[in-house]
Amino acid sequence: MIEIKGIYLSTPTEIPIVAVLLLLLTIIYCISIFYIFIGLFRLPKYKNNFHHFISVIVAAHNEESKIARCIQSIIDQDYPHDKYELIIADDRSMDTTPAIIDKYCSGNSLCRSVRIENNGDVIPKKTALIKGLSEARGEVIVSTDADCYLPETWLSTINSYFTKDVGMVIGHTGYTRKRGFWRGIEALDYLSQRALGVAFVGIGSAYTCTASNFAYRKQIFDENREEFSRIKVRPAEDNYLLHCVHGNSSYRIAVATDPGSFVTTDGASDFAHFLNQRFRWGAYGGNITTLAVKLFFIPVLFYYIGVWYALCTAFFIPSIFFYLLASLCCKLVVDFLFAVRSVTLFRSVYLLKYFFPLSLLQLILIPVIVIKGNMFSFSWKGRRYTIDREIKK
């Protein structure tokens, strides 16, 4: 301590140990973000002119308000109609979804439907997909969700990425642009999830993709059919197939960044829907996590723990507030760089204005999602799940 006229000042060598640990965690966090940030700049371009025969598979559960729009947008594709088919798998819908599906399938040779009965052997969505895939004739399988809208160039653009060495194409799904502060925050949060998945592909690894917009060679499914049929709720079917291509295939994974391939969805209907959706994502990693993902998320999780520990400690050692503020400023800088590249890559620059409020929200949201999604149950579309199974009533 240094005494100046009766006033004691802390010397630089007496920095609280909590502040030192927070500084180290901040440095590691920044390195982790830069580690995947590089991946957003390392996405190869692909160009294929051959028209593969494509099977589009849509699994639907209680989507009466949106499925007609989805089906019609697939029918209206500019891809040659003799080069694709649409298979709609009804996953035990209790509303008018089956009637809407039947209406389209009865009047259009492009469409076929399958229905999943409600019995004890059903695995939510996966059983519907397996039944749809068993009916598929396409060399390439393209997946989307029943609440999505597809541009007319969707299939032709996705197909253009399927060169001979590509086994899977990850597409982008964005939220419909709506007015409202919360809608903007939600859309940017969703885009950050998609960007993380893309970044890991860019560094030669695999983390996540979205079933609402991805495609793969049917050969990938056929080679992993038995194992795929055994998995339960966790991991998600899209992530499982992604890791099959990454870890057990000679094929490459392509990322579709052409706007003609972008899919849109409306997002969560309310805050509870938003939270349960994130809990579901947090629970769907399973045991397929790559080393690169661990090297990223473990330091990130420790950083968030460090921030909250430092915040609690600061009430007893006020000087820690300065170090906490410095740490958060460093975090904002590297996160902002990642966000700028993400919104630029997916043509959503308008979302940058929601970056700061989302960053504050994520300080609370991310730890809650990790804990809730992996240790407790959550609800999704009227059904309740743990990380391993559906909870039957």
Q: What is the per-residue pLDDT for 124?
A: 67
* Euclidean distance between CA atoms 295 and 305, whole angstroms: 16
Q: What is the pLDDT of residue 228?
A: 82
pLDDT score at 307: 95
The ranges of the chain with pLDDT < 50 are: 1-5, 7-12
Q: What is the DSSP letter of 58?
A: E
Domain spans, the chain: 2-40+292-391, 45-289
pLDDT digits (tens, 9 = 90+) for 135-164: 999 999 999 999 999 999 999 999 999 999
Q: Which helix (H) or strand (E) holds 84?
A: strand 84-91
Hey, how many other C-beta atoms are within 10 angstroms of the C-beta on 81?
Answer: 12
pLDDT of residue 279: 80
Between CA 259 and CA 169 the distance in angstroms is 14
Helices 355-375/271-283 angle, 10° precision: 60
Query: Given this model, what pLDDT does residue 248 score?
Result: 76
| pLDDT the model gives residue 10 | 46
- Between CA 183 and CA 266 the distance in angstroms is 10
Q: What is the pLDDT of residue 120?
A: 61
Q: Residue 88's closest CA among 66, 80, 260?
A: 66
Enter the tokens of residue 19: 């502040």
Q: Which two tokens stand for residue 45?
A: 């371009």
Q: How far is CA 334 from CA 34, 39, 177, 324, in A?
A: 7, 14, 26, 16
Strand order in the sheet with 54-60: 111-116, 84-91, 54-60, 140-145, 214-217, 166-170, 252-255
Amino acid letter, residue 202: G
What is each CA distance from 157 to 72, 78, 200, 240, 316, in whole angstroms?
18, 10, 22, 24, 58
Is 45-289 in CATH node 3.90.550.10? yes
Note whether 178 and 110 are within 8 A (CB). Answer: no
Question: Helix (H, G, I), strand (E, B), or coil: what is residue 206?
Answer: coil
User: Which residue shows structure tokens 């966090």?
Assistant: 29
With beta carbons less than 8 A apart as the criterion, state whether 224 and 195 touch: no
Q: Does residue 253 sit in helix, strand or coil?
A: strand
SS (H, E, C) 325-337: HHHHHHHHHHHHH
